[in-house]
Structure 1
Amino acid sequence: MRASMWATAGLCAGLMMGTVQAAPRETRIPDAALQTAAQLREKALESELGYRITESLTTEVGPRLAGSEADARAVKWAEAKFRELGYDKVWLEPVTFPKWERRSESAQVLGANAQPLTVSALGGSPGGTVEAEVVRFADLAALEAAPASSLAGKIAFVDYEMKRARDGSGYGPGSRVRSRGPSTAIGKGAIGFLMRSAGTDSHRNPHTGITRFDEGLMPIPSAALSVPDAQQLTRLLALRPQRVRLSIDAGWNGTATSHNVIGEITGRSKPKEVVVIGGHLDSWDLGTGAVDDGAGIGITMAAGALIGQLPKPPARTVRVIAYANEEQGLHGGKAYAEKHAGDLTRHQIAAESDFGAGRIYAFATSAPEHAKAAEAQIAQALAPLGIEHTPGKGGPGPDLGPFVEKGMAWANLRQDGTDYFDLHHTPDDTFDKIDPQAVAQNVAAYAVFAYLAAAAEGDFGSAPTAAAPAK
Structure 2
Amino acid sequence: MQQLKRLTFGAVLSIVSVQLMATQAVITNDQKQTATQLMQTAIKSDLGMEIVTSLTTEIGPRLGGSEAEERARDWGVKLGESLGFDNARIEEFTMPFWDRGHLHISLSSPYQQELYGTALGGAAPTKEKINADVVYFRDIHALTEVKDNSLTGKIVFVDGDKMVKSQTGAGYGQANQRRRIGWQHAQRSGASALVVRSVGSDSHRFPHSGMMSKDGENWADIPVIAISNPDADHLRRLHNLGKPLAISLHSESKWKGEVSSGNVILDLIGSEKPEEIVLIGGHLDSWDLGTGAVDDGAGVAITTAAAALIAKLPKRPKRTIRVVMFGAEEVGLLGAFAYAKQHEANLHNHVLATESDFGAQTIWQLVSNVNPQATLLVDEIAKILSPLGIVRGGSDVVGGGPDIIPMAAKGVPTIRLNQNGRDYFDLHHTPDDTLDKIDPDELAQNIAAYAASIYLIADSDVDLKP
**TM-score normalized by structure 1?**
0.90
CA apart distance, 1:30: 2.6
More deviation, 177-186/233-242? 233-242
- Residues 212 and 204 of structure 1, relative CA distance in 2, 3 Å threshold: same
More deviation, 67-76/300-309? 67-76
Counterpart mapping for 1:25-424 below 5 A = 28-128=26-126, 129-161=129-161, 162-215=163-216, 219-239=221-241, 240-392=243-395, 394=397, 395-424=399-428
Name the SS for the 1:136 alignment partner.
strand
CA distance in 2 between counterparts of 1:410 and 1:180 reads: 30
- Residues 192 and 275 of structure 1, relative CA distance in 2, 3 Å threshold: same
CA distance in 1 between counterparts of 2:31 and 2:395 reads: 25
CA apart distance, 1:67: 1.3
CA apart distance, 1:218: 5.7
The amino acid that maps onto 1:232 is H
Tell me, yes or no, if the aligned pair for 2:208 and 2:226 is still in contact at 8 Å: yes
Residue by residue, what CA displacement relative to the aligned partner does 1:295-354 show, whole Å, maximum 9, x if unpaired? 000001100000000111211111100000000010100011011111122111111000
CA distance in 1 between counterparts of 2:413 and 2:84 reads: 27
The amino acid that maps onto 1:417 is G
CA apart distance, 1:204: 0.7
Structure 1 residue runs of 5 or longer lacking an equivalent are 1-25, 463-471
Name the SS for the 1:157 alignment partner.
strand
CA distance in 1 between counterparts of 2:93 and 2:363 reads: 30
Tell me, yes or no, if the aligned pair for 1:27 and 1:456 is still in contact at 8 Å: no
Tell me, yes or no, if the aligned pair for 2:52 and 2:301 is still in contact at 8 Å: yes
More deviation, 429-438/103-112? 103-112
Residue by residue, what CA displacement relative to the aligned partner does 1:157-215 show, whole Å, maximum 9, x if unpaired? 11112222110122111222101111121122221100110000001100001113424
Residue by residue, what CA displacement relative to the aligned partner does 1:86-140 show, whole Å, maximum 9, x if unpaired? 1111111002110001111111111441111111000111111322111121211
More deviation, 426-435/105-114? 105-114
Tell me, yes or no, if the aligned pair for 1:199 and 1:421 is still in contact at 8 Å: yes
- The match for 1:458 is 462
The amino acid that maps onto 1:388 is V
Q: Percent identity?
A: 46
- Residues 256 and 192 of structure 1, relative CA distance in 2, 3 Å threshold: same
Tell me, yes or no, if the aligned pair for 1:27 and 1:373 is still in contact at 8 Å: no
Name the SS for the 2:275 alignment partner.
strand
Tell me, yes or no, if the aligned pair for 2:284 and 2:326 is still in contact at 8 Å: yes
CA distance in 2 between counterparts of 1:76 and 1:315 reads: 29
- The match for 1:435 is 439
**TM-score normalized by structure 2?**
0.91
What RMSD, in angstroms, separates the aligned Cα atoms of the two structures? 1.5
- Residues 165 and 218 of structure 1, relative CA distance in 2, 3 Å threshold: closer
Tell me, yes or no, if the aligned pair for 2:369 and 2:396 is still in contact at 8 Å: no
Residue by residue, what CA displacement relative to the aligned partner does 1:369-421 show, whole Å, maximum 9, x if unpaired? 12121111111111111000012365320001011111100111000000100
- Residues 151 and 213 of structure 1, relative CA distance in 2, 3 Å threshold: farther
CA apart distance, 1:217: 7.2
- Residues 27 and 150 of structure 1, relative CA distance in 2, 3 Å threshold: farther
Name the SS for the 1:110 alignment partner.
strand
More deviation, 121-130/282-291? 121-130
Structure 2 residue runs of 5 or longer lacking an equivalent are 1-23
The amino acid that maps onto 1:127 is P
The number of aligned residues is 437
Kindly name which structure, 1 or 2, has the bigger radius of gyration based on alpha carbons: 1
CA apart distance, 1:42: 0.8
CA distance in 2 between counterparts of 1:174 and 1:47 reads: 38
The amino acid that maps onto 1:212 is S
CA distance in 1 between counterparts of 2:175 and 2:284 reads: 24
Tell me, yes or no, if the aligned pair for 1:351 and 1:397 is still in contact at 8 Å: yes
Name the SS for the 1:246 alignment partner.
strand
